[in-house]
């Protein structure tokens, strides 16, 4: 149902390398690239992520409680995405690891949390066996 998620930025070109690196790890690249807007993903793939300068010309602000969740293929990719985010100017919001209790199938939510250079919060997650 969701085509893409848009986050505001005050420095589109400065923040773009952060998302270029995240997208590369996830096997996609830029699908739209304009002076005030860049979107990463694949036209025929899952939901993408976009950065834009606010249309009204005001400063971009971070939504309190808003977050974009990136579905990783496995625990290793959760770790790599967290490392990539930090290496590209992001800040740590929670190291990779299990969150919560295992469900009835023995699966647990495994995630890392980070912010981009504008302060937008993202996470990388997957479901793994609780004992794995």
Give, in order, the Cα–Cα distances in Å from 72 to each of 6, 14, 19, 55, 125: 19, 25, 15, 31, 5
SS3 (DSSP) at 78: helix
Mean pLDDT across the stretch 67-72?
95
* pLDDT at residue 88, rounded to an integer: 98
* pLDDT at residue 49, rounded to an integer: 96
SS3 (DSSP) at 24: helix
For the stretch 71-94, pLDDT in tens is 999 999 999 999 999 999 999 999
4-54+66-129 fold: 2,3-Dihydroxybiphenyl 1,2-Dioxygenase; domain 1 (3.10.180)
* pLDDT at residue 71, rounded to an integer: 95
Residue 62 neighbours by CB distance under 10 Å: 14
What percent of the chain clears pLDDT 90, i.e. is strictly above it? 88
When the pLDDT of each residue in the chain is averaged and rounded to a whole number, the result is 94
For residue 16, the Cα-to-chain-centroid distance in whole angstroms is 12
* pLDDT at residue 13, rounded to an integer: 96
Which is nearest to 89 in space by CA: 10, 14, 5? 14
22: which residues sit within 8 A by CB, 6+ positions away? 40, 70, 81, 84, 85, 88, 122
pLDDT exceeds cutoff 80 at 66? yes
């Amino acid at each position: 149902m969701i085509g893409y998620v848009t986050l505001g930025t005050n420095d589109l070109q400065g923040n773009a390398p952060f998302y270029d690196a995240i997208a590369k790890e996830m096997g996609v690249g830029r699908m739209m690239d304009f002076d005030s807007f860049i979107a990463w993903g694949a036209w025929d793939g899952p939901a993408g992520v976009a950065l834009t300068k606010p249309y009204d010309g005001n400063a971009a602000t971070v939504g309190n409680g808003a977050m974009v969740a990136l579905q990783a293929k496995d625990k290793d990719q959760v770790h790599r995405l967290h490392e990539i985010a930090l290496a590209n100017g992001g800040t740590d919001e929670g190291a990779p690891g299990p969150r919560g209790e295992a469900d009835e199938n023995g699966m647990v939510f495994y995630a890392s949390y980070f912010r981009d250079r504008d302060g937008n919060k993202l996470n990388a997650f997957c479901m793994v066996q609780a004992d794995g």
